[in-house]
Amino acid sequence: MAEKTIMLVCAAGMSTSLLVSKMQKAAEAEGVDAEIFATAASDADNKLAEKSPDILMLGPQVRYLEGNFKEKLDIPVEVINMQDYGMMNGEKVLKEALTSMGTK
């Protein structure tokens, strides 16, 4: 089991899949043991129950969900920087996640 679990949420779960791949490569390069996965906003509650992530990161297009998730979750909830998301900068998004979890 991975040391850290990072969950990404976007409108359909598809646009974040490339970002997940880049984040996983960055994690491997930095020796970070992390399970990183993406899901659609409509399935987020199911995945939260199933995977118990350490952080929830929202794609910019679903930033409106931030308050809702922060109210009901006891984990960090962050909106991915729009520029990092658009550039699919897995390294920067991973660093943001780790920082928010107090890991780096």
Name the active-site residue from 10, 32, 36, 77. Answer: 10
One-letter identity of residue 44: A
Report the chain's C-alpha Rg in angstroms. 12
Judge whether 10 counts as a catalytic residue. yes
Closest CA to 51 of 102, 4, 104: 4
The residues carrying an active-site annotation are 10
